[in-house]
Amino acid sequence: MEGLDALRGFALFGLFIVHMPELFELYWAHPATDPFQLAVHDAVWLVFAGKAFALLALCFGVSFFIIMDRAARRGVDFTGRFVWRLVLLAAMGLLHGLWYRGDVLEVLAVMGLFLLPFHRVRSNRVLLAVAVLFLLQPLMLVRIVAGLAGADWANQPLRFWSATIPQVYLDGGFVDTLRMNVAEGWAFKWLFMYESGRLSQILGLSLVGMLLGRIGFFSRPQEFARARVTGLLIALGVAVALYFAREPLAAWVPASEAMPMPRALTGALLGSLFDLAVMAVLMLGFVALYHGGAHRALGVLAPAGRMTLTLYIAQSLLFVPVFYGYGLGLHASMTQVQALLLGLAAFAVQVLFAHLWFRRFYYGPLEWVWRAGTYLTVDVPFVKRGNGAPGKERVPA
């Protein structure tokens, strides 16, 4: 499905276009103060921060359904092999995390395990209800209620709020950076994912993606044309309402010096819902445009979507040294505009590379490794022959 590949490529673009002005997490060491640079930063954050990541999690759920469904149609229970597939993804994430602590592959792999029992739930309504529950951040709601009841633990500030950028990232050597990623980077990533509610959000969005795959939202797009438009208008209305109302709504929650967290967490929860609404606008808008006459223009992103794993890792392999102290150390001098323009140009090169790559190869490099590792065989086609036929029998999807 080229449309789904294009959507995944769009999610990859959004994630990268956040990472670049963020200077791969080093922006927070010296945030922008110039009004124009700050406006550029805020614009990128408004459109993509938290939204591109959410869209990637949704696509992950769709891919999960496609893999399991194709196997089931052949009479194969793919559960065990999918667990092994997630183990391989987690291993790649762990290795990637040595280089860049913000790696999300490991997180997606772990949360993917929770999809397996839900795949056996036949009721779409039950799946939707569970997905909504996770998207509403149940643990955060419990903490808000406990904080309002005066529980001391619930009124302690979130630990990741007080985190600072390790100095070694700014001016340390390569080996010192690796050590920091091992010693503290991995733990901080999981702390952030848990306390911010990202883990709950990933599971909820993956379930939504699985449900969308089950009902044929991407495989039979013509059946959902009216639903897409209706959903887009609703999501846009919710996003606009939350943009203006989230702070006033949070202000209604009682707060005091001894009870500061319920209001703060309510604001965070409403912010999370705003991100989900904008993500829905991006997803539904993209799909509507793709199937409404813009498929040739948006389809340009499809090859990048087919090698998301390779490009995602390549982005940090190339640009972490650009900003970190052991490389060019440009975190202190690159402006938001420069980082944004560099990101746009770099992604254009990535898209071009993907187009050229798939003229000769069936899979991206890491996609092939992941696939071969999943089936424990190198008997997976990689190089295209002159007549377009694979050199060896294709391993089933």
Residue 75: exposure state from Cβ atoms within 10 A (0-12, 13-18, ≥19): exposed
| 393 pLDDT higher than 70 | no
* Alpha carbon distances (Å) from 29 to 23, 26, 183, 267: 10, 6, 20, 24
pLDDT tens for each residue of 6-16: 999 999 999 99
Measured between alpha carbons, how far is 338 from 322 in angstroms, rounded to an integer?
A: 13
> What is the overall mean pLDDT for the chain?
94
pLDDT tens for each residue of 232-255: 999 999 999 999 999 999 999 999
The structure tokens 């103060």 sit at 33
Q: Which residues are within 8 A (CB) of 107 and not within 5 positions of it... i.e. 6 or more apart?
A: 93, 189, 190, 193, 198, 199, 202
* Torsion sign (Cα): 15, 17, 21, 24: positive
| 268 pLDDT higher than 90 | yes
- pTM value is 0.94
The structure tokens 């999918």 sit at 82
Measured between alpha carbons, how far is 32 from 39 in angstroms, rounded to an integer?
A: 9
- SS3 letters across the chain: CHHHHHHHHHHHHHHHHHHCCCCCCHHHHCCCCCHHHHHHHHHHHHHHCCHHHHHHHHHHHHHHHHHHHHHHHCCCCCHHHHHHHHHHHHHHHHHHHHHCCCCCHHHHHHHHCCHHHHHCCCCHHHHHHHHHHHHCCHHHHHHHHHHHCCCCHHHCCCHHHHCCCCHHHHHCCHHHHHHHHHHHHHHHHHHHHHHCCHHHHHHHHHHHHHHHHHHCCCCCHHHHHHHHHHHHHHHHHHHHHHHHHHHHHHHCCCCCCCCCHHHHHHHHHHHHHHHHHHHHHHHHHHHHHHHHHHHHHHHHHHHHHHCHHHHHHHHHHHHHHHHCCCCCCHHHCCCHHHHHHHHHHHHHHHHHHHHHHCCCECCCHHHHHHHHHHHCCCCCCCEECCCCCECCCCCCC
| 142 pLDDT higher than 80 | yes
| 280 pLDDT higher than 90 | yes
Q: What is the pLDDT of residue 396?
A: 40
The structure tokens 């890792």 sit at 313
Q: What is the mean pLDDT of residues 26-51?
A: 95
Q: Which residues are within 8 A (CB) of 351 and not within 5 positions of it... i.e. 6 or more apart?
A: 9, 300, 301, 303, 304
| 21, 47 Cβ separation under 8 angstroms | no
Q: What is the mean pLDDT of residues 121-125?
A: 94
Banded model confidence at residue 387, pLDDT cuts 50, 70, 90 = low
- Chain length of the chain: 397
Measured between alpha carbons, how far is 377 from 334 in angstroms, rounded to an integer?
A: 45
Q: What is the pLDDT of residue 318?
A: 97
Q: What is the mean pLDDT of residues 325-330?
A: 96
Q: What is the pLDDT of residue 308?
A: 97
Banded model confidence at residue 353, pLDDT cuts 50, 70, 90 = very high
Q: Which residues are within 8 A (CB) of 244 and not within 5 positions of it... i.e. 6 or more apart?
A: none
Measured between alpha carbons, how far is 11 from 317 in angstroms, rounded to an integer?
A: 19
* Alpha carbon distances (Å) from 238 to 78, 200, 273: 38, 21, 9
Q: What is the pLDDT of residue 1?
A: 78
| 301, 3 Cβ separation under 8 angstroms | no
Q: What is the pLDDT of residue 293?
A: 86
Q: What is the mean pLDDT of residues 347-372?
A: 97
Measured between alpha carbons, how far is 194 from 196 in angstroms, rounded to an integer?
A: 6
* Other CB atoms within 10 Å distance of the CB of residue 308: 23
What tokens appear for 210 in the block? Answer: 């699985």
Q: What is the pLDDT of residue 137?
A: 95
pLDDT tens for each residue of 211-237: 999 999 999 999 999 999 999 999 999
Measured between alpha carbons, how far is 352 from 45 in angstroms, rounded to an integer?
A: 26
Q: What is the pLDDT of residue 385?
A: 82
| 395 pLDDT higher than 90 | no
Banded model confidence at residue 112, pLDDT cuts 50, 70, 90 = very high
| φ, ψ (nearest 5 deg) of residue 361 | -125, 155
| 386 pLDDT higher than 70 | no
